[in-house]
Structure 1
Amino acid sequence: MDRITRRGLLAGAGATAFLTAACGNGVGSNGSAQIDARVDATKNYLFSRYPGTSDLAARASGVLYMPLITEAGLIWGGSYGRGALQIQGATVDYYSATKASIGLQVGAQQYAHALFFMTPEALSDFRRSQGWAASADLRYATPEEGGSIGKATTEIDPVIALVFGQQGLIAGASLAGVKYTRIIP
């Protein structure tokens, strides 16, 4: 991959947009009712499948639930999804997550994730930002860890991301960045 042509860039972007729209993640649909229903189903799945996560959510200052993220890539990749920020179990804002990536990658997948804001400061920083990008202050955990994340972990990590419910296959190595933006559904 010595040189990226404009035609290759446009083809990759078009394929990513098509796959994202075709996967039924709600791109272009309106209404908070759909997001709320998906968030409720995601919470029920998460708490029933990984019981330790309900305790984690109870100790968190807030939780951003992203019930359906659709990701696709062929060298260029991207993902999109929408979710809700809940504080003490009540929805206070809606957010979108957009990710762009480049690298050796091929495939498509869907998954859910939740961001547990373990300190009031982390939650406040997230809510005040114009668009919050995942960075080094984010700890990723597997669902198996989510069932047993202890007190020491939550005191050290201000934000814990739990990715679960993966379906599909995407393979390769890439550089990516995720941006969370407040939306009005």
Structure 2
Amino acid sequence: MIKHLQIMALVSIFAIAAGCQTNQSTSAADVKAENAQMDQEAKAALKSLYTSTPQARVLAQKAKGILVFPDVLKAGLIVGAQHGQGELIENGKVTGYFSTTAASYGLQAGAQKFGYVMFFMTYSAMNDLKSVNGFEVGVGPSIVVVDSGAAKSLTTATAQSDVYAFIFDQKGLMAGLGLQGSKITRLDR
């Protein structure tokens, strides 16, 4: 029975990985359409976050950059994987596209879709993201994942960390959700 469950988990991980491949041959028009769709999804994700957590809008006004991942898919059974694509916004303009990927193992089962936004509060944290190919969450600048309780007391005066992350719009059923160990990589588009 356990071997059967492990095989099902591996099949689900390979299915996610296959769906996330970005090495497909695409024309300039296709890339432009993908970017436009990502821009719309990122704006909708930010609007959703700001509606549910108004304190995030306050952080956004002081942030040096905002990295938005509107749709991240996580699935697994003992072994899990997650992947999503997003964009970096600086001074109201999109300056790059990124992917987020993570693998995990342990007591987990299910599938879930969620979004997350990272507010980069310092230029040094922004430089870490932009200069390293493969920025890893939990290595480098200090990152605080803000829950709804902590968000209520968060102000620009109390915000002292390099990066603040908000996870929102969770859909699906999966125990455990975190960003630790996620690798963020710039996309060539």
Normalising by the smaller structure, the TM-score range is 0.7 to 0.9
Equivalent AA in structure 2 for residue 17 of structure 1: F
Q: What is the rounded CA distance, in whole Å, between the counterparts of 1:158 and 1:174 in structure 2?
A: 18
Percent of pairs identical after alignment? 32
Q: How does 1:3-82 map to 2 (within 5 A)?
A: 11-18=8-15, 31-82=34-85
* Aligned mate of 1:100, from 89, 100, 103: 103
> Higher strand share goes to which structure?
1
Counterpart residue number, 1:160: 164
Which ranges in structure 1 are unaligned for 5 or more consecutive residues? none
Contact 1:101 1:176 in 2 (8 A): no
TM-score in terms of structure 1 length: 0.83
Contact 1:142 1:164 in 2 (8 A): no
Match of 1:177, SS?
coil
Q: How does 1:119-138 map to 2 (within 5 A)?
A: 119-135=122-138, 137-138=142-143
Equivalent AA in structure 1 for residue 111 of structure 2: A
* Aligned mate of 1:151, from 153, 156, 173: 156
Q: What is the rounded CA distance, in whole Å, between the counterparts of 1:67 and 1:174 in structure 2?
A: 15
- How far did residue 134 of structure 1 move? 0.4
Which ranges in structure 2 are unaligned for 5 or more consecutive residues? 25-30
- How far did residue 42 of structure 1 move? 0.6
Counterpart residue number, 1:86: 89
C-alpha RMSD over aligned residues: 2.9
User: Which range moves more in the overlay, 49-58 or 80-89?
Assistant: 49-58
Match of 1:135, SS?
coil
Change in Cα spacing, 1:172 to 1:142, as seen in structure 2 (3 Å) is closer
TM-score in terms of structure 2 length: 0.81
